[in-house]
Amino acid sequence: METPSLFEAREVAADIFELPACMPVPGLGALSVNAYLIRGTEPVLVDTGLAALGERFVEELETLVDPDDLAWIWLSHMDADHVGNLTAVLRRAPKARVVTNFLGMGKMMLAGLPVERVHVMEPGASLQLPDREIVPLHPPYYDAPETIGFFDTTASVLFTADAFGALLEQPARGDAAAIPPARLRDGLVTWAGIDAPWLSLLEPASLERSLDDIRRLAPTVVLSSHLPAASGITEALLGYVSEMRSGGTPRMPNALTMERLLDRAHIGKEAAI
């Protein structure tokens, strides 16, 4: 795989769909970059994918929902791989409002993204929809302070943004439960070391409290931005993160890897124009 790829959308829980994509990370493997759609009474798009996907992303989204019906766009945080097609989706979805927090809106303004339709999620508030409640929460680790995951109380599904992502040797398709455990653990440790290196500084008891909070929620499916939807392996994912806190140093990209990655991203953008 030389450039970012978009795969066919798939249903990962009742009325919840994954829009799976993958980008190459030269020297390290491949990283999933997923968006999700909750197709309920008021459809919610979760993140907007890589800009390099361009029109392909919007077309795949339109196979799942009429843009005129899209009510909400939940932005986990403002990294480029999460807001890449925000402007294009907003143009096609005139009723959609963008959900973020105060810091997220500030970053949108700094990046020149449209904020006219932003719904600022206040601390302690949730998104009350006719058929479900979406409760914001902080994932156990993340790379941007504005990050908001959520728990869908109707579907018992947990969205964790960057947390539980994994760098894998090859693009992953289907459910994360099908990935051999050793490969999944190694990929998760590598990605977390890059995305959240501060985890090694965290007090073990503090991390365990965050992981225990997820255990109490008992999600049926964990949705990560950087791993295929994971059904029935929540305890395994939590265990990998717990082990990682006291593990060794993961592989990190060197200067050559970064140059190749930037070249690939540039090629992908040219292909989308």
Give the 3-state secondary structure of residue 71: coil
Q: How many angstroms separate the CA atoms of 90 and 80, rounded? A: 16
Cβ-based neighbour number of residue 103 at 10 Å: 16
Confidence of residue 241 (pLDDT cuts 50, 70, 90): very high
CB-based contacts of 238, cutoff 8 Å, min separation 6: 211, 214, 215
Residues in the chain: 273
CB-based contacts of 169, cutoff 8 Å, min separation 6: 29, 30, 183, 187
Residue with tokens 């965290």: 202
User: Going by DSSP bridges, is the β-strand pair 44-46/72-74 parallel, antiparallel, or unpaired?
Assistant: parallel
Please give the helix or strand (H or E) that residue 102 lies within, else none. helix 102-110
Please give the helix or strand (H or E) that residue 158 lies within, else none. strand 157-159
Confidence of residue 24 (pLDDT cuts 50, 70, 90): very high
What is the domain class of 5-272 according to CATH? alpha beta
* pLDDT confidence of residue 1: 63
Confidence of residue 257 (pLDDT cuts 50, 70, 90): low
Global model pTM greater than 0.95: no
Confidence of residue 248 (pLDDT cuts 50, 70, 90): very low
Token pair for residue 67?
A: 């843009």
153 close to 132: Cβ distance less than 8 angstroms = yes
Average pLDDT of the residues in 67-74? 98
- The fraction of the chain above a pLDDT of 90, given in percent, is 78
DSSP state of 252: -
DSSP state of 178: G
Token pair for residue 17?
A: 């769909």
Give the 3-state secondary structure of residue 189: helix
Among 66-70, 190-194, 241-245, the least confident range: 241-245
Q: Could you tell me which of 47, 118, 150 has the C-alpha nearest to residue 89? A: 47
pLDDT, tens only, 81-98: 999 999 999 999 999 999
Token pair for residue 213?
A: 């909070």
Q: How many angstroms separate the CA atoms of 4 and 209, rounded? A: 36
* pLDDT confidence of residue 211: 95
Average pLDDT of the residues in 234-255? 73
Give the 3-state secondary structure of residue 238: helix
